[in-house]
Structure 1
Amino acid sequence: MSDPSRLRWTPPDPTQLPEWRAQLLDHLDDDRTRTTMRAALQAGRFTIVPSVPGIGASDESVASILLTKCERRRLESAELYYATPDMTALALAAAHTPPTEPVTLSRLPSESGLIVFGEPIGGYTEDAGAALANTPFGRPNASAVITTPIVAASWSVWDPGEVNLDRGEVRWFHKGAGSSGLIPADWSGVWITFYSPRGLFSGLPPETVIGTMRDGMVMTAGMIDANREASGPPLGWDNEMLLREGAPFGPPVPDTTDRWAHVLYTAWQLMAQQGKSRWAEVDEIPRARSGAKRDRRQGVTGSSAVRVVRVHSTHRPPPQAAQDDAQASTGRREPQWSCRWPVRPYRRSTCMDPRAHAEGGCRHEDRIVSGHIKGPEGAPLRTGETVHLWDQQPAD
């Protein structure tokens, strides 16, 4: 029988994030990581793929080296953020409708970053056995349906030229739905990697067949659970995508990078909003001196401090409301906010240059506005349909 408590995503204490980054950096230096990435590339699971013609190695081998280098540099220079469960739920609530402004690089809280969310920002259901079918780890008729939560993201301004090889020019291809092809050299935007927790096969029957080990033996859910502590960092690469600067946001496609990017971008907007409409407050937790020394040895150039992003006290929901919502959550999908925000926050397109508005030369920017309840303070919340009362029978 499955143990629900072992299936839930349990967020770390924010002070653990620098150590998590250190483990990710070590993981990206491991040859086994590149082997796994080569298999994923062969299975078509990457959407951003580099190629170096005439280098004398397989496309997958070259791509795995370049992709791990890119992710490593992104994490080395990343500022660290932790979004509390309330902040995560707020971003999900506000992201129910897409951002109205186009992708704007100034929305990034830092040029590169790593953010871990206190609750999943989404997830997807997949048959792990079928996913491995076309890789060296596949096994005929293997089936293990699991729900994978998305709990973290790294990002950087797109600059693939930093990892060009001396032996040839790197060409970058996008293989996403509807926009496949060569990425132009002058392309501008944001590169995002989404992460899921490692070791969440727990709860499946231990004898469930997942695939095949390197030595040809059967791989089961029980074997994965038994080795999860030694299998690498707490987070694992899941998906990646590009956001083109100036591009509009379309309707979100559920359970895809498209939907998760809406939530991430909305979190950036909430963090940036200031003044009377301020949504977030940030506390900074410094890294211990010994840990900071380790970071420098690993080549970390970003701050070793962790920025904890909370909902501002003027908007923060009552603790009981947050507990009620958390109780209703599966811990593997995005939480609901029926108790925390009965009236969902909404977006308002704000003109940033009213004098040029009439001529169409102005710039508009999203402002996320608090959902509000009209009426006297303390009055019961009315959420149903409007009811019209008549004090006399209306005429025919």
Structure 2
Amino acid sequence: MRILDPPLDPAVRRWPPPEPKRLPELRQTVQEHQRTRFGLLNMAGALRRGSSSRYPHIAGAQDAAWATALVLCEQESQRLSDARLCYADEDMTGLAVAAGQTAPTEAITVDRLPSPSGLLVLAVPIGSYEREAGGSEVPEHILRDKPTPIVGVSWSLWSPAESLVKGGRPLASTTRSTPRRCCPWTRSARSGRVISEFCCRQPELMRDNERALFTGRHFPESGTLLGTTGAWAQIVYTAWQLMAQEGKHAWT
């Protein structure tokens, strides 16, 4: 994982930032994607690969990954429908990345949230990682790694709860909201046969992973290995702090 200080790696800057006026459109396409078969397949695949940090228990489910995907996609769709839309230009993003290299000293608090739920789209990535491009049907000799930029985040209040499946549909019962979850998003990046089959059905932004931030706890001290989602969550929390500033240093 790379957290990028400006100037950003040109290989990662292939993300063409949208105009802020397009945020409602982006939100709608991502939200609708969560309710499609392709969105559910993407989520179920991530669960089966072990690349999702959240895997709620679904009592009585014959296919645990598929049942859980139904729950998580429904939750993400609802999160986006209620989201406050935010946009960070290149300067704002660079400031958050630079400041986010130092762990916040305060205990994590819901007061830092700009809104109960939101979607923040970034003009430049806050980080990236290498993923294998090509897929299972591409000959091994042409497989290559390609940078996957992280260019947005959605968030909401969230609490762990046991989800039950009845009548083939998941019913999620939640407890009081105490921890906070933020879900980094990455620009779609596919190649080969996968593009021709699925690209037209995928939104411009795709879910990457998620992170729960528990109120009352602290971020690890600076210098601690955080992993990808931990480092990105620290940058996002720092961005929330900057968004809350007033006066001449206000993030507008």
TM-score (norm 2): 0.83
Match of 1:270 among 227, 242, 249: 242
The answer to whether the 8 A contact 1:69-1:163 is kept is no
Q: How far apart are the structure 2 equivalents of 1:43 and 1:6? A: 25
Q: Which residue of 2 aligns with 1:24?
A: 30
Q: Deviations over 1:13-68 (max 9, x none)?
A: 0011100111112211111221222222111111101222224x211111110010
Deviates more, 1:230-239 or 1:4-13: 4-13
The answer to whether the 8 A contact 2:57-2:163 is kept is no
Unaligned runs of 5+ in 2: 1-9
The answer to whether the 8 A contact 1:52-1:170 is kept is no
Q: Which residue of 2 aligns with 1:233?
A: 203
Q: Which residue of 1 aligns with 2:79?
A: 74
Q: Which residue of 1 aligns with 2:181?
A: 191
Q: Deviations over 1:51-89 (max 9, x none)?
A: 22224x211111110010110110011010001111001
Q: How far apart are the structure 2 equivalents of 1:123 and 1:160? A: 28
Taking a change above 3 Å as real, the CA distance of residues 54 and 224 of structure 1, as seen in their structure-2 partners, is closer
Q: Give the alignment of 1:355-374 within 5 angstroms.
A: none
Letter in 2 for 1:127: E
Q: Deviations over 1:186-231 (max 9, x none)?
A: 67211111100013x5xxxxxxxxxxxxxxxxxxx34455567614
Match of 2:90 among 81, 85, 109: 85
Q: Which residue of 2 aligns with 1:385?
A: none
Q: How far apart are the structure 1 equivalents of 2:140 and 2:154? A: 35
Q: Which residue of 1 aligns with 2:3?
A: none
Q: Which residue of 2 aligns with 1:125?
A: 130
Unaligned runs of 5+ in 1: 173-184, 202-220, 282-396
Shift of 1:273: 1.6
Match of 1:243 among 213, 216, 220: 213
Match of 2:101 among 96, 103, 106: 96
Q: How many residues align?
A: 238
Q: Which residue of 1 aligns with 2:157?
A: 157
Shift of 1:147: 1.0
The answer to whether the 8 A contact 2:162-2:172 is kept is no
Shift of 1:234: 0.4
Matched, 1:8 2:33: no
Match of 1:59 among 56, 64, 84: 64
Letter in 2 for 1:9: W
Higher helix share: 2
Q: Partner of 1:50: helix, strand, or coil? A: coil
Q: How far apart are the structure 2 equivalents of 1:225 and 1:26? A: 20
TM-score (norm 1): 0.54
Shift of 1:126: 2.8
Letter in 2 for 1:31: R
Give RMSD over aligned pairs.
3.0
Letter in 2 for 1:273: Q
Q: How far apart are the structure 2 equivalents of 1:140 and 1:225? A: 16
Q: How far apart are the structure 2 equivalents of 1:62 and 1:159? A: 19
